[in-house]
A = this chain, B = another copy of it.
């Protein structure tokens, strides 16, 4: 109905308060240079008109946008947890977050360009799948922080968790429980899948054990399929690429009448909400997403505010033992 309500501008407020636009601008920004009584008068006029600064105009004029672009994958619930944490941290640092999802039919480049169009001063990308070269190209325009992936070249910041350490902790845990026949269901084509597989191989070797790796992926179906392929020669423990895959593995075993962890131990990766569900209680390697997200936001903000060289922050993950891992059944 009352559709055509033009939004009030600085000009309107200035007129209402009987001062110049510039002064209103000063007051709205909380910048110094306005006497207290005038400040109050302007503030009140703005309040009454329901004035909200037009960020487009503001951003156009001042190069500062205080906007951080965050790309995530809509199909990864784990990413949602990161988004949450990023919002919180950005708020405390006085930044806004622009979100852009990578979805089917919407490649990462599109997501990024959209973020850039909004005027993001820096980009935070969760598990970017772009090539080092492409990343560097974007990094030449604006600081880029890669989250959960560290082989991104020198031009790009990264905040990641130490994949090798994570796998090492996981293998140590399983071996410590007495497992000897451990299978890794890998992440397929996923980012950092290769690193984890390599880490698994080297860690198993360190323990003098044979490293068996089967093809997996990112979701439940992948885990399910992988576990099914294991039925002929059941291992005593499975280390999955992530929690979703682990869940698939567990379900596959359940379907065959196997008990987890009595018959087979299963260990996830991510310590996502999923793992914490009371009926799942998945033991998992935690990368501590909120902490990583906060670190990424801070890193991005630092770069925006002048920090020069790209840094590579690496955090060591830790193990969260719940109820899907235990000593192997005596064979």
Interfacial residues, chain A to chain B (CB-CB below 8 A): 1-3, 5, 7, 52, 54-57, 59-60, 74-75, 77, 80-81, 83-84, 87-88, 91, 96, 98-101, 103-106, 113-114, 116-119, 140-141, 143, 155, 220-221, 224, 248, 251-252, 254-255, 277-279
CB-CB under 8 A from A118, the residues of chain B are 55, 98, 118
The answer to whether B83 touches A101 (Cβ under 8 A) is yes
Residue of B nearest to A119 (CB): B56
CB-CB under 8 A from A59, the residues of chain B are 56
Q: How far is the CB of A247 from chain B (nearest CB, A)?
A: 9
Q: In the bound complex, how far is the Cα of B224 from the Cα of A117, in angstroms? A: 44
The answer to whether B52 touches A140 (Cβ under 8 A) is no
The answer to whether A60 touches B56 (Cβ under 8 A) is yes
Residue of B nearest to A276 (CB): B221
Known: A1-B140, A59-B56, A224-B278. A87 touches B105 (CB 8 A): yes
CB-CB under 8 A from A251, the residues of chain B are 279
The answer to whether A106 touches B87 (Cβ under 8 A) is yes
Q: With A56-B57, A77-B80 given, name 11 new contacts (CB 8 A).
A: A3-B143, A52-B116, A55-B119, A56-B59, A75-B84, A80-B101, A87-B103, A87-B106, A88-B103, A96-B117, A99-B100
Q: In the bound complex, how far is the Cα of B116 from the Cα of A119, in angstroms? A: 15
What are 21 A-B interface contacts by the 8 Å CB criterion? A1-B140, A7-B141, A54-B60, A55-B117, A55-B119, A56-B60, A74-B83, A74-B84, A75-B84, A80-B80, A80-B101, A84-B103, A87-B101, A87-B106, A91-B105, A96-B117, A98-B98, A99-B100, A221-B277, A221-B278, A224-B278
Q: How far is the CB of A65 from chain B (nearest CB, A)?
A: 8
The answer to whether B103 touches A1 (Cβ under 8 A) is no
CB-CB under 8 A from A57, the residues of chain B are 56, 60
CB-CB under 8 A from A113, the residues of chain B are 52
Q: In the bound complex, how far is the Cα of B99 from the Cα of A222, in angstroms? A: 29
The answer to whether A277 touches B84 (Cβ under 8 A) is no
CB-CB under 8 A from A77, the residues of chain B are 77, 80
CB-CB under 8 A from A88, the residues of chain B are 103, 105-106
CB-CB under 8 A from A140, the residues of chain B are 1-3, 5
Known: A99-B101, A113-B52. A248 touches B279 (CB 8 A): yes
Q: Which of A59, A84, A279 has the most chain B CB atoms inside 10 A of its CB?
A: A279
Q: In the bound complex, how far is the Cα of B77 from the Cα of A278, in angstroms? A: 18
6 closest cross-chain pairs (CB), A and B: A251-B279, A99-B99, A55-B117, A84-B103, A74-B80, A56-B60
Q: In the bound complex, how far is the Cα of B100 from the Cα of A27, in angstroms? A: 27
The answer to whether A52 touches B103 (Cβ under 8 A) is no
Q: Which of A54, A99, A143, A278 has the most chain B CB atoms inside 10 A of its CB?
A: A99
The answer to whether B84 touches A279 (Cβ under 8 A) is no
Q: Within the complex, which residue of B52, B56, B224, B252 is in contact with A56, where a contact is CB–CB below 8 Å? A: B56
Q: In the bound complex, how far is the Cα of B80 from the Cα of A100, in angstroms? A: 12
Q: In the bound complex, how far is the Cα of B84 from the Cα of A5, in angstroms? A: 32
